[in-house]
Each structure stands twice: as C-alpha cells, then as structure tokens.
C-alpha cells in the first residue's frame, strides 16, 4: 500500500470517528434538561398601577361673609377635630351679642318688677276680700248699709282684676326673657360662625386665602382631607381582575420610595369599570399609612388573590400551543424526553404558569426549551433541578 493510500485511509478514519462523535453528541448522548421544581406557598398576584388619593376631601369656609382676621393653619398641618383654623373680624357681631345680653338683663329686671306688682296686687286683693266678707256679713245682720256692702264688693272685684293683670304681666315678662335668650343664642351662633374649626381629625392640603381677604359666605379657605381615608386608587386589567376580592392582601410600592413595600388590603372594588381602557378600579387601603405621603403620587400594587400550597411552575415560553387553559410541555419521564398535553392554572407576574394536570407520575417538566429535543431521546435532569 502506497504512502498516499495510507494517508487517505487515515483521513477517512478520522472523519468517520469525528462523524460518530458528532452523532453521539448531538443525537445519541443523553441531553441534560433543566426542569421545574415543585414549589410551596406560592402567592398568585395581580399587578396594577394607581395613584394615592383621599376618600374624604372637604373644602371648608365660613358660612358668613367677612374679612379674614387670623389664620392658624397652613398646608401640611394636622388639625384635630374642633381645632381653630381661621377667624373673621367680628367686632360688629360681638356688639350684637352684647346687646342681646343687655336685652336679657332688661327683660329679667322687668320680670322682677312684674312680680313685685303681682305681690302688691295680691296683697290689695287679700285686704279687699277681707273687708268685703265683713261688709257682707254686716249687711246680712242689717248692721251696715247696702251702699257700703256694694262698695266693698266693687273694691274686691277691682283688686281681683288687678291680680289677674299683674299675673299676665309676669307671664309676658317671662316670654320676653325667653325671646331675648333665643335672640342671644342666635347672635352667639352667628358669632361662632366667624371662627372656622376643623370638622374632623384632618390634614390641610391647600390654603386658598390670605389675611385681609374679603370673603363671601361659603367661599373656600382650606381644603382638608381625612388622613385615615388615604388609599391607592388602582386600575387593574379586566382580564386579570376576576379573582380579586375585598380584603385581599396587597403590597404597595410608591414611586418616591421604590425600595420599600407597604402592606395594605383591598378596601373596595368599584361597580363601574373604565370603559375606554377596560380596567377595573380597585381601592387599596394602607395597613399603616406612610408618615410622608403625597396625593396624586403614582403607586404600583401587587394584589395576592390566592396562595398555592404546592405548585409546579414553568415559564410560559416553555409551553407551546396554549389555548383555552391547555398547552403542551416537554417532560423527562423514565429518563427519556416526551411531549405531554397539560392543563394550565394560574399565571404569575414573573411569566410562569401553573401546571394543574397532565404530568405523569415521576415525570419532571422541562423549564427551558433547547435544541436537540425530540420524543424518545435519552435525558438526564440537570444537577440541582430535581423536583
């Protein structure tokens, strides 16, 4: 055999060995497959965007017109219920209250005089009654004249009328006192309206007027909110909102504090959805309101609708032919690859889906698709990825 033939034979042998190695590596060698593990206590969450809002918002002002004399609150201040926020110039109204007090004093003096007149009239009546009784007895015994008896009777009747008149004067004086007190109450209530107080435990978010401003009745001076009513108004895609219920735990991430998560609860699911964006409006209440919050700030919400005790989760990219809650996955079963139709459950925010049914006993689901997958090929589970 010539040298050239030996060289050609050697090259052919190397090619055959190389081709065999390639065939072994690509087609015959068991492929290492990353598989999904069974996880426990998995939260299924729904994501939404929203803004921080206050359910209780009030624009407050004076019920009467006047000039703003004093301001005792500013933006950001906390105002307990009943705390004074501002006051109007009240000299004129204070004078009306003083006049009402004087009217009461005068009416009470008139009552005392009416009572004195009543006592005098009652004394005169008692005297006239006594005299009349004696005259009538003497007339019956023919020891006095008819004229004297008639005079005594007339005096009796006159003093009785005076008693009745004095009694009426007392009643009138008492009515005048009641009227004067009612007038004072009215003037005092009007004076109180010159002072603006907080209707509840509030926080001032805007101040519309400054000292010296002339205000019309009902004109707004402050805008208040109830800090306890601050929540996140979140918008959730209708296709993902079906399982949300009032009371579901929620994590809130404020745009100004991206590194912190605040806990809350679903407080309300509004009846009317956003027709244009096809989103459901959900109100999220804070478990503990941040000390420094800002209305209108953007917030991300993660609503936990259910927790899975045990779940096999695979990336959605590893599932093919997804339709109506079903799909096809690759499984490692008895050390060989195979395709299996499965039932899909919940979808997680990280892009994984829950495999509910269809996995054979002892089989593991491939978590990542890779080249070289075909039914029947030998397969091993990658280290650290066993179920």
Supply 108's token pair.
């009470």
Mean pLDDT by 10 residues, the chain (387 residues): 59 56 56 87 94 95 94 93 95 93 92 91 87 78 77 84 89 92 93 94 94 93 94 93 93 94 95 89 93 92 94 90 89 89 91 90 87 84 57
295 within a domain of the structure (yes/no): yes
3-state DSSP call for residue 143? coil
Same domain, 254 and 105: no
- pLDDT for residue 373: 85
9 within a domain of the structure (yes/no): no
Domain boundary among 278, 307, 336: 307
Same domain, 67 and 203: yes
- pLDDT for residue 3: 62
What is the span of the domain harbouring residue 332?
Answer: 30-42+308-381
- pLDDT for residue 306: 93
Residue 261: HSE in the Cβ half-sphere, 13 Å Cα cutoff: 7
Q: Find the CATH number of the domain harbouring 239.
A: 2.40.30.170
Same domain, 244 and 217: no
Same domain, 209 and 79: yes
Model pTM score: 0.69
* Count of other CB atoms within 10 angstroms of residue 64: 17
- pLDDT for residue 138: 78
161 within a domain of the structure (yes/no): yes
Distance CA 325, CA 355 (A): 10
214 within a domain of the structure (yes/no): yes
Domain boundary among 170, 192, 214: 192
Residue 334 DSSP symbol: T
Distance CA 386, CA 332 (A): 11
Same domain, 142 and 100: yes
Same domain, 103 and 148: yes
Same domain, 147 and 288: no
How many separate domains does the chain show?
4
Distance CA 259, CA 273 (A): 31
Where would I find the H helices in the chain? 3-23, 91-140, 146-192
371 within a domain of the structure (yes/no): yes
Same domain, 208 and 188: no
Same domain, 96 and 181: yes
Q: Residue 167: is it exposed, middle or buried by C-beta count within 10 angstroms (0-12/13-18/19+)?
A: middle
Same domain, 80 and 120: no
- pLDDT for residue 362: 85
Domain boundary among 276, 307, 338: 307
17 within a domain of the structure (yes/no): no
- pLDDT for residue 325: 87
4 within a domain of the structure (yes/no): no
- pLDDT for residue 43: 94
- pLDDT for residue 24: 46
Same domain, 131 and 207: no
């Amino acid at each position: 055999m010539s040298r050239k033939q030996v060289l050609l034979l050697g090259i052919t042998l190397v090619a055959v060995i190389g081709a065999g190695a390639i065939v072994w590596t690509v087609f015959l060698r068991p492929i290492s497959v990353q598989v999904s593990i069974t996880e426990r206590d998995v939260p299924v969450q729904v994501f939404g965007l929203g803004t921080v809002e206050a359910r209780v918002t009030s624009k407050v002002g004076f019920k009467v017109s006047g000039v703003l004399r004093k301001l005792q609150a500013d933006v950001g201040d906390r105002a307990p219920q009943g705390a004074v926020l501002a006051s109007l110039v009240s000299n004129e109204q204070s004078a009306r209250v003083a006049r009402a007090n004087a009217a009461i004093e005068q009416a009470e003096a008139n009552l005392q005089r009416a009572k004195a007149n009543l006592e005098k009239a009652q004394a005169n009546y008692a005297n006239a009654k006594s005299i009349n009784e004696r005259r009538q007895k003497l007339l019956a015994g023919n020891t006095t004249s008819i004229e004297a008896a008639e005079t005594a009777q007339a005096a009796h009747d006159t003093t009785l009328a005076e008693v009745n008149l004095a009694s009426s004067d007392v009643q009138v004086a008492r009515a005048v006192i009641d009227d004067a007190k009612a007038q004072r109450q009215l003037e005092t209530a009007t004076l109180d309206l010159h002072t603006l107080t907080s209707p509840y435990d509030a926080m001032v978010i805007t101040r519309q007027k400054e000292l010296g401003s002339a205000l019309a009745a009902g004109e707004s001076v402050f805008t208040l909110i109830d800090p306890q009513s601050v929540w996140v108004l979140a918008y959730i895609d209708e296709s993902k909102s079906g399982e949300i219920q009032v009371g579901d735990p929620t994590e809130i991430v404020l745009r100004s504090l991206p590194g912190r998560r605040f806990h809350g609860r679903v407080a309300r699911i509004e009846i009317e959805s956003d027709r244009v964006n096809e989103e459901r409006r959900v109100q999220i209440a804070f478990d503990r309101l941040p000390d420094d919050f800002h209305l209108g700030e953007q917030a991300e919400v993660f609503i936990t609708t259910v927790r899975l005790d045990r779940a096999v989760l695979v990336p959605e990219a590893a599932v093919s032919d997804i339709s109506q809650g079903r799909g096809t996955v690759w499984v490692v079963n008895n050390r060989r690859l195979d395709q299996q139709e499965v039932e899909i459950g919940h979808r997680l925010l990280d892009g994984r889906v829950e495999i509910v049914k269809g996995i054979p006993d002892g089989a593991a689901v491939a978590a990542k698709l890779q080249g070289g997958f075909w039914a029947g090929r030998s397969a091993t589970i990658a280290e650290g990825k066993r179920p």
